[in-house]
Amino acid sequence: MTSLDEFTLIRRYFTPSALPPHIVAGVGDDCALLTLPAGCELAISIDTQVAGVHFHADADPALIASRTLRCAASDLAAMGAIPLGFTLALTLPAVDEVWLGSFASALSVTAGILQCPLVGGDTTRGPLCISVQVHGAVPAGQALRRSGAQAGEDVWVSGTLGDGAAALALLEGRLSASPEADAFLRQRFYEPDINFALGVQLRGIATACIDVSDGLVADLAHIATASGLAASVHRDLLPMSPLWKTGVTEEQAHSWALTGGDDYRLCFTASVSQRTFLSTLEGLVLVGNMVQADATVSAGTVTVLDKHGVTCDISSHGFCHF
């Protein structure tokens, strides 16, 4: 521990040396000033990671940094926004320059990859806690909301599901994996891909969109609720990585893919007429459809069907009745 004062700390670790032209003022003034592209709305989202709740206090600070920024940026991709910059509220129990050096340099690398520069923040002393607020831009009226899905539309996901839950099982010693699977799962957990380009491409095509952070069933339920519909998902269409899937029971795999969370894929709805086009985009998989709510299936309900069209009981980990 050293006795670094707050402003030296900010200057040393959290002041990017070069900023893109749309950042009129970054770290160092009372507010950051950002120029919003003409005709755009500002998209804002904040994510907080608390030590002992979202990560272990002794976890690698570089991995915490990468994961925190990526998870926050995922919400911008889900709205079809492009990143403008982010602010960081950092609460530290003490000034540990080794920790700070590693955290700040990984944060800066990730900011560079995502083209989302650090533009300001707040630094306080207390239990380790990291909040990242991302700011993005989306052409007015074109954001991908949760509320636009229509009955009969397709439900798509942008890549493999269940990786987040499998990674957590691996990190907690509940899953053994080959070196290749181990590397894949750690990368998916700490460096989830954030596909801003896909979000942009889906403007005007996806009628509703969300990022899968709490699990497909829970997140698709948010689209269903916001759109006043129900949804069906075909369990056997869920894309899963063979790297970990072969090492667990089918029931476990389905449970992770449906309810595991931490996948940071996009889940979106689109008209059936978009199928041909969407099938040409890499990684997209059609997994279900939106249906009218009625007396038996209320709005916001997500039903999981097996290959015979029989409803699966997802509360008991993929077990199917009959």
Q: Which residues bind Mg ion (CB under 5 A)?
A: 30
Element (H, E) at 169: helix 163-171
Cβ proximity to ligand ADP: between 15 and 246 the closer is 15
Residue 16 binds ligand ADP (CB under 6 A): no
Instruction: From 265, 267, 48, 57, select the one nearest 162 (Cα to Cα).
Output: 265
Cβ proximity to ligand ADP: between 30 and 58 the closer is 30
What x/- string results for residues 195 through 214 when contact with ligand ADP is judged by CB under 6 A?
--------------------
Q: How far is the CB of 29 from Mg ion (least distance, A)?
A: 8
Q: Which residues contact 31 (CB under 8 A, 6 or more apart)?
A: 25, 120
Residue 313 site contact among ligand ADP, Mg ion, none (CB < 5 to 8 Å, cut-off depends on kind):
none
User: How many CB atoms neighbour CB 29 within 10 A?
Assistant: 11
Cβ proximity to ligand ADP: between 8 and 147 the closer is 8
- Please give the residues from 106 up to 145 whose contact with ligand ADP meets the rule CB under 6 A: 118, 120-123
Q: Which residues pair with 312 in a beta bridge?
A: 304, 320
* Contact between residue 219 and residue 265 where contact means Cβ atoms under 8 Å apart: no
What DSSP line would sit under 267-301, residue for residue?
EEEE-GGGHHHHHTSTT-EEEEEEE---SSS-TT-
Residue 27 site contact among ligand ADP, Mg ion, none (CB < 5 to 8 Å, cut-off depends on kind):
ligand ADP
Residue 90 site contact among ligand ADP, Mg ion, none (CB < 5 to 8 Å, cut-off depends on kind):
ligand ADP
Please give the distance of CA 3 from its chain centroid, rounded to a whole number.
36
| 305-312: long-range contacts, CB 8 A cutoff, minimum separation 24 | 305/232, 305/233, 305/234, 305/235, 306/235, 306/236, 307/234, 307/235, 307/236, 312/235, 312/254
Residue 27 binds ligand ADP (CB under 6 A): yes
Q: How far is the CB of 314 from ligand ADP (least distance, A)?
A: 41
Among 76, 77, 88, 231, binds ligand ADP (CB under 6 A): 88
Residue 39 site contact among ligand ADP, Mg ion, none (CB < 5 to 8 Å, cut-off depends on kind):
none
Residue ranges in contact with ligand ADP by CB under 6 A? 10, 14, 27-30, 88, 90, 118, 120-123
